[in-house]
């Protein structure tokens, strides 16, 4: 008996030893559709770096394998297979068949009031995963989409907490808002500044009429749908995402200005040009002087973000809690922003057919604007120091610490004094509560009824204190002083409520796929607020401590206050049918009726239909010979109408200006009330009508993805201001007058493949834009906006308008032989072209000089992955636009010179571009090509290098995933303009103006960590 037991234990130990030993496996990988061996497939033991690749015939062999391992077999464009390894694997060949991966085509895309498979879309919808966005070092996720989506124009600002300016397929309105609509978990809203990037599960950008028409009045400027994360699966998970970093504005990216010696030389030259007998100006100092930009910019501004998410899924309920914190210091000193987020979602399966749930997001946003003014730093002369001598200090005068500005620049404040005197005197706090609750009932197998209620409550508070000071005790020429303290406070509240009721029918009948939705939605928004201002705080104290910055501390005899209230609402009926026959022929038909309180009762309703058609040509028999090349190909075309009501309220009501006209009767001034403006009782919707044509394709085993498209959209009945009425001296507040067309091509290409152990991908996208005004009012009268912009039929909105420079007059003889001008020209002046051929230079020679809007936007990038390392690099750029450099045209004061002013004309043959330095010659500062700069740029937008720790290293710690990374953003910008950044904002009618006040866009460097438990 003992012998048998010993023998049994000996055999058992041999078996265990054999199982623990490494062995060799071999096998072959086939492509299922063709049955051919697949070369280059990756074969790796899960959680390790032990792997190989298949050879020309698809064969592989691998050593160091143990029973219980899992073999991961993958190939670009095909579904990954995981094969368990047993003891039998050492003696038998492992055969693997890989199928084409149509995941991207079967991916469900949120389309607004429903979902659809990506392959079934008949419109231009771009879907972005939240995983691609969560680690971007920005407070607003839209900033990270710059250069990634064709037709999406993103203009970023470096200011702490700033929201980017977003345009989709150009600008189609004059005075109404051109910003897109955001839809967050079904709630319609105008901004997403409250939202943490880590809370986003997916984003869809809707661009074409077929996709947008379901949003009717809200959809004309495009729609961005955001779905936040919810608990998934049947487990509990904990995720942390965070990063920490620094921002800086490198000297290469700063405005190039003259130093003290160079400025003094140029300024004295300018004095001599204006008056040969003028005495030379003597500065306080020469040499390098004061670099004001370095004084007001932080060397390193901190940025950090942390987000912790806990989700739990049970048999009948799922819950998720997310807590986040984001903080950013602006690169201008004392500019800060921080945001706290808490979000909770809950979903219940009450019965088999009945669901309910909700979602609530709480956020608090605190901000302090920069007390430093970057425009002051650019304009201030480098010939004086920031601080006054110690002996000048007066404890009762904060301004005595600082040196006054130079005697020739009394109305440009000492930038350091401005920054320090107003440090922490202005702050704002914004609370946001956004939530929803829903119930969903599935009945009769194919029907779903869903009711959802939403709320968006915002509380906003701001305050500003103005100190009392006199820079240098009024012993100098400086105008930099304030005699009376004052305190301002405002408080606003916004409440928005929305209700959606949707009935959906889904049915598959043999080859017919039907998805139909009808619905009703209503929305009401109320906003109100007050503001008050007092002065002479604390009985006129010279220096008031911050705990006394209150309205009650001001003089009761010097109080100003005001309040306001607004209400708007709309209701809508909607219907949509998605139909597919054999998953080959596709139809989407949509209709929406909107009623808005912004228009008079007789014009309150708008009706917006659309239709989209798709043809999956890769399913046709005639494509069979191309099956090895074309995995999927679809043609699509869509047409639709949409509305825009993004204007103020009550514009169809007349209002009275009690001091409209002034007359003098018997020496006494009397005021006669008049209409504030004429009204248009027939004011109604802007209506955008558009078409969209495109092709989508997947080629070469899904390695190559391609999207090509053309769009054209025309906005009619533009909401615009018109010329004043001579009868009452007032103009329409706003009326329907004009049309604008935007059209262009879009493309997106991507390639994914593997070479050895390296996975790689390349992507490129771009979009053209041609913006043209086709009608303006009944008489097509131009809209003149200031001295530099004009909106006219046949040209883009807000085009630059002026003279065309044709060099510099070098001699008096050249002037005498040129055409006569309406001013007296001298050598060194700009020579303007005679464009109308009348042999004289007049206003009639002005023309359209370009547009602030780019005609081409693009982005490209690549990714590399080697074992556990990954690298992502992105570029973006624009071309075809101009920037108006207004710093050159400053005439109201003396400013520092651009470094390029050293190349000015100062004698025959010295320059044919930059005119003589002489501000008395105003004709050199007229609107012309001399003030315009090329707005094109190419930017290295993002570089990120990451490393994911192998499972074998972290599984014993209870960690399911851990990735560390370093990243850099805005690392290099290749540009032509002289300002901090080529990203210049502005209104539709007056854009692209750089006056030296554009907030610098910094380079950002971060280190981050993502952990999953």
Q: How far is it, in rounded angstroms, from Cα 550 to Cα 562?
A: 17
Q: Is the CB of residue 628 less than 8 Å from the CB of residue 33? A: no
194 vs 460: CA distance, rounded Å: 13
The pLDDT of residue 19 is: 42
Q: Give CA–CA dist 974/972, Å, rounded.
A: 7
Structure tokens at 903: 């190349």
Q: Tokens for 595?
A: 């009623």
Q: Identify whether the C-beta of residue 204 lies closer than 8 Å to the C-beta of residue 125.
A: yes
How far is residue 1006's CA from residue 32's CA, in Å, rounded to a whole number? 44
Instruction: Give the number of other Cβ atoms within 10 Å of residue 288's Cβ.
Output: 11
Residue 510 CB: number of other CB atoms within 10 A? 7
111 backbone φψ class: left, alpha, beta (φ>0; ψ -120 to 50)? alpha
pLDDT of residue 18: 42
CB atoms within 10 A of CB 54: 23
Q: How far apart are CA 983 and CA 159, in angstroms?
A: 13
Rounded to an integer, what distance in angstroms lies between the CA atom of residue 252 and that of residue 578?
A: 54
Q: Return d(Cα 218, Cα 179) in angstroms, integer.
A: 10
Q: How far apart (Å, rounded) are the C-alpha atoms in residues 130 and 394?
A: 56
Structural domains of the chain sorted by starting position, each given as residue range(s) with its CATH number in brackets: 22-98 (2.60.40.1120), 108-233 (2.170.130.10), 805-850 (no CATH)
| pLDDT given at position 184 | 93
Non-local (6+) Cβ contacts of 327 within 8 A are 302, 303, 304, 305, 336, 337, 338, 339
3 state DSSP class of 261: helix
User: What residues in the chain have per-residue pLDDT under 70?
Assistant: 1-21, 33-34, 47, 49, 76-77, 100-108, 473-478, 676-677, 721-733
Alpha carbon distance 1004, 178 (integer Å): 29
281's tokens = 């100006």
Residues 725, 728, 733, 734, CA torsion sign: negative
Which of 331, 327, 337 minimizes the C-alpha distance to 419?
331
| 112 and 214 Cβ atoms separated by less than 8 Å | yes
Contact at 8 Å (CB) between 676 and 660? yes
pLDDT the model gives residue 839: 93
Contact 746, 709 (CB under 8 A): yes
Q: What is the CA 895 to chain-centroid distance, rounded? A: 33
Determine phi and psi for 471, rounding to 5 degrees: -65, 120
Closest CA to 948 of 962, 932, 967: 962
Query: Does the CA dihedral 592-593-597-603 come out positive or negative?
Result: positive
Cα Rg of the chain (Å, integer): 34
pLDDT in tens, 112-153: 888 887 777 888 888 888 888 877 888 889 999 999 999 999
985, 686, 695: which is closest to 852 by C-alpha?
985
């Amino acid at each position: 008996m003992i012998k048998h037991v010993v023998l049994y234990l000996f055999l058992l130990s041999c078996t265990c030893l054999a199982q623990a030993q490494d062995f060799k496996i071999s096998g072959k990988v086939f492509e299922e559709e063709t049955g051919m061996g697949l070369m280059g497939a990756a074969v790796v033991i899960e959680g390790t770096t032990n792997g190989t690749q298949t050879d020309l015939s698809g064969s592989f062999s691998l050593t160091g394998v143990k029973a219980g391992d899992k073999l991961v077999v993958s190939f670009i464009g095909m579904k990954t297979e995981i094969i368990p390894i047993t003891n039998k694997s050492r003696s038998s060949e492992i055969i693997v068949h890989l199928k084409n991966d149509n995941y991207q085509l079967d991916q469900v895309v949120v389309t607004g009031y429903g979902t659809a498979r990506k392959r079934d879309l008949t419109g231009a919808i771009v879907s972005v995963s939240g995983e691609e966005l969560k680690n971007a070092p920005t407070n607003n996720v839209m900033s990270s989409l710059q250069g990634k989506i064709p037709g999406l124009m993103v203009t970023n600002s470096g200011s702490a907490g700033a929201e980017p300016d977003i345009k989709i397929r150009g600008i189609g309105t004059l005075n109404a808002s051109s910003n897109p609509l955001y839809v967050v978990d079904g709630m319609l809203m105008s901004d997403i500044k409250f939202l943490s990037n880590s809370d986003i599960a997916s984003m869809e950008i809707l661009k074409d009429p077929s996709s947008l028409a379901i949003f009717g009045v809200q959809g004309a400027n495009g729609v961005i749908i955001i779905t936040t994360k919810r608990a998934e699966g049947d487990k509990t998970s904990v995720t942390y995402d965070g990063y920490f970093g620094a921002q800086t504005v490198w000297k290469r990216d700063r405005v190039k200005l003259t130093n003290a010696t160079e400025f003094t030389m140029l300024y004295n030259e300018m004095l001599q040009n204006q008056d040969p007998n003028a005495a030379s100006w003597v500065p306080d100092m020469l040499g390098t002087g004061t670099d004001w930009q370095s004084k007001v910019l932080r060397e390193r501004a901190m940025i950090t973000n942390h987000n912790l998410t806990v989700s739990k899924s049970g048999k009948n309920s799922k819950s998720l809690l997310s807590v986040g914190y984001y903080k950013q210091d602006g690169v201008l000193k004392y500019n800060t922003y921080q945001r706290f987020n808490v979000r909770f979602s809950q979903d219940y399966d009450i019965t088999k057919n009945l669901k309910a749930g909700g979602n609530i997001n709480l956020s608090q946003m605190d901000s302090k604007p920069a007390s430093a003014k970057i425009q002051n730093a650019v304009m201030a002369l480098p010939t004086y120091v920031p601080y006054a001598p110690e002996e000048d200090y007066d404890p009762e005068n904060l301004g005595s610490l600082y040196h006054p500005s130079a005697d020739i620049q009394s109305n440009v404040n000492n930038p350091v004094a401005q920054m320090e005197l107003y440090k922490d005197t202005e702050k704002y706090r914004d609370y946001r509560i956004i939530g929803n609750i829903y119930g969903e009932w599935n009945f009769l197998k194919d029907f779903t009824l869903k009711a959802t209620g939403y709320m968006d409550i915002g509380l906003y508070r701001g305050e500003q204190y103005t100190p009392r000071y006199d820079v240098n005790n009024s012993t100098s020429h400086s105008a930099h002083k304030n005699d009376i303290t004052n305190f301002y406070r405002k408080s606003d509240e916004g409440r928005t409520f929305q209700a959606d009721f949707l009935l959906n029918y889904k049915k598959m009948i043999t080859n017919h796929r039907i998805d139909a939705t009808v619905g009703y939605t209503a929305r009401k928004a109320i906003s109100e607020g007050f503001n008050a201002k007092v002065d002479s705080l604390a009985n006129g104290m010279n220096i008031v401590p911050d705990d006394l910055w209150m309205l009650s501390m001001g003089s009761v005899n010097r109080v100003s206050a005001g309040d306001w209230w607004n209400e708007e609402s709309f209701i809508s009926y909607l219907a949509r049918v998605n139909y597919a026959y054999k998953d080959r022929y596709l139809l989407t038909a949509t209709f929406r009726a909107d009623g808005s309180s912004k228009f008079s009762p007789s014009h309150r309703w708008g009706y917006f239909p659309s239709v989209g058609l798709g043809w999956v040509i890769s399913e046709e028999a005639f494509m069979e010979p191309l099956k090895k090349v074309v995995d999927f190909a679809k043609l699509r075309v869509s047409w639709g109408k949409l509305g825009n009501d993004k204007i103020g309220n009550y514009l169809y009501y007349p209002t009275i200006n009690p001091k409209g006209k002034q007359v003098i009767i018997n020496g006494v001034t009397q005021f006669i009330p008049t209409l504030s403006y004429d009204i248009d009782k027939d004011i109604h919707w802007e209506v955008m009508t558009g078409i969209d044509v495109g092709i989508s394709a997947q080629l070469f085993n899904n390695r190559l993805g391609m999207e090509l498209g053309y769009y054209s959209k025309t906005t009619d009945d533009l909401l615009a201001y018109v010329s004043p009425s001579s009868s009452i001296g007032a103009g329409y507040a706003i009326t329907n007058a004009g049309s604008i067309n935007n059209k262009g091509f879009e493309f997106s290409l991507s390639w994914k493949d593997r070479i050895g152990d390296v996975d790689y991908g390349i992507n490129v996208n771009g979009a053209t834009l041609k913006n043209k005004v086709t009608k303006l009012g009944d008489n097509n009268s131009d809209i003149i906006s200031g001295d530099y912009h004009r909106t006219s039929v046949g040209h883009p909105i807000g085009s630059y308008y002026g003279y065309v420079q044709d060099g510099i007059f070098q001699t008096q003889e050249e002037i005498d032989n040129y055409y006569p001008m309406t001013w007296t020209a001298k050598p060194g002046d700009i020579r303007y072209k005679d464009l109308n051929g009348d042999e004289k230079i007049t206003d009639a020679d002005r023309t359209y000089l370009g547009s602030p809007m780019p005609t081409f936007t693009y982005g490209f990038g690549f990714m590399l992955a080697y074992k556990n390392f990954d690298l992502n690099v992105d570029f973006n750029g624009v071309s075809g636009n101009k920037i108006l450099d207004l710093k050159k045209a400053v005439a109201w004061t003396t400013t520092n010179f651009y470094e390029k002013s050293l190349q000015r004309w100062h004698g025959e043959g010295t320059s044919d571009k930059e005119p003589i330095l002489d501000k008395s010659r105003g004709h050199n500062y007229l609107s012309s090509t001399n003030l315009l700069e090329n707005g094109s740029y190419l930017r290295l937008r993002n570089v990120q290098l990451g490393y994911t720790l192998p499972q074998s290293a972290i599984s014993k710690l209870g960690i399911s995933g851990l990735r560390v990374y370093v990243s850099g953003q805005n690392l290099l910008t290749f540009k032509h303009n002289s300002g901090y950044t080529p990203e210049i904002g502005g209104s539709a009618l007056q854009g692209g103006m750089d006056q030296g006040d554009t907030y610098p866009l910094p380079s950002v460097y971060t280190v981050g960590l993502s952990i999953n438990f």
